Amino acid sequence: MTRPSDVRREGVCSGCSAAGIFAVQRCRRCYDAADVTITCSRCGVETRTVPGRLRLCTDCHDHEPQRLWGWLGNRVSVRNGQLPTWFFTAATEWVAMAHAKTVIRHLLLIERLILTGICRPDDLITTLRVEPGSRRTAAMLGDFFTRHRVRADSTDTEVQSWRQGRLDRLPPRLRPAGRQFVDYLVVQQRRARLYGGASLSDTTIAHRINVLLQLADYLDARVIDDWAAVTAEDLEGFLTANAAQRIPALRAFFAFARRRKITLINPAADLRRSQRKGYAGLLIEPARQRQLLNRWRREDTDPRERVVGLLCLLHAATNSDLRMLTLDDIDLDQATVRLRNRRHPVPLDPLTIDAIRSCLQQRSTTAPDNRFLLVTHQSRQHNKPCSIGFPVRILTTVSLTPQVLRQTRLSDLAQRADPRMLAAAIGITRKAALHYTIGNVHRAELAFPEAGDQTRPHDLDQERQHPSDRRAQ
């Protein structure tokens, strides 16, 4: 790179003969004493000369591109070849659009990151975006990479090759719109990453390409070779399988096609994802339920754990019911308890009665002044209920939550009784009771077999499968 005639170099001061690196053959002390003034070679304004300003005033010096080349020529990283080739291309483009002083400030930030080992374009943009005062640099660099299609590494090339190979499988008349759609998704992804927003992942883009391929095969079987000829009925027929995964991709593509006037209408505008009906959460196996009952029958178990577990598993109590249960709500003579959301007292079984008695005996010595049944180390010092998280924490020893125990009981009652009676007894709506009916609860035959039935244990992950998914298989 050509060095200007007055860049800094080693020499001897013409005033005091001191050795050093100077721009005007004078040291700083002699230069300040001389107080030399010059006429700007560009605008003609008289100004005090400053070393390294190429006989220019301050304003003209900030605009002078030669200042950038002098700065680059003096950088050790440039001499050692530590900067990529696109660094100089970006410097050339930016100096034509902005002051050299501003460009140098941006290049300094980028150079510092490159020398620390951050060289991939995506990593550079991400790091600059989170650093204070570097968001403008990140925006300029991201725009430069987008225009020049600078790739991070071989992984990006492999992703591009895979996408191109999938798009080549589209029919000839459907292929151009598919390519435009993928290019649009990639641009949106880069723009979102540049400005720190939520972006599509490469996996999502690949999934949408696969949905387009599947739709193209479906349309080809129906002799449709134009996106404009696709109707809502065609899409509904295509959505007979994997509708939840396909609908977002179809909506995105046909909205794009409508904006680009590839299609006159958007046939996917009225597509709606059908909501899964019925309960599809965790249930406790009968063998596991028997283990829990045996544990909560023992007197060496924490009485509070026994009360929480039995009230949830056998009586479908909520977290709020447990926390707000007071001593006045308990009637052991009548073997009933009044829960917060129940219209009528709840009859108790012998196991729950024994657990409540043990809990009452324990709390009589620890918190005689607290009116709530469940007392903790903190709540015994006042007259308020325990914390919301206490019923959950007390069941960590069995790796369960009160919600799972309650849902298990509700599912059992919904299968064995009329959902309307369940709604009236438990204090829930009829719609919520129907949510747990036998036609909707998955693994119903496993969780609640009839008496005498032998149930084979399964892995819990395999059991969490919805009935509709089983029928599809």
pTM: 0.42
- Max avg pLDDT among 84-98, 222-236, 356-370, 452-466: 222-236
How high is the mean pLDDT of the chain?
79
Note the pLDDT tens digit of each residue in 331-381: 999 999 999 888 889 999 999 999 999 998 888 777 677 888 988 888 877
Percent of the chain with pLDDT over 70: 77
Query: Does the domain made of 286-447 have the CATH classification 1.10.1740.10?
Result: no
The Cα 3–Cα 136 span in angstroms is 30
Note the pLDDT tens digit of each residue in 87-115: 888 888 887 777 778 888 888 888 888 88
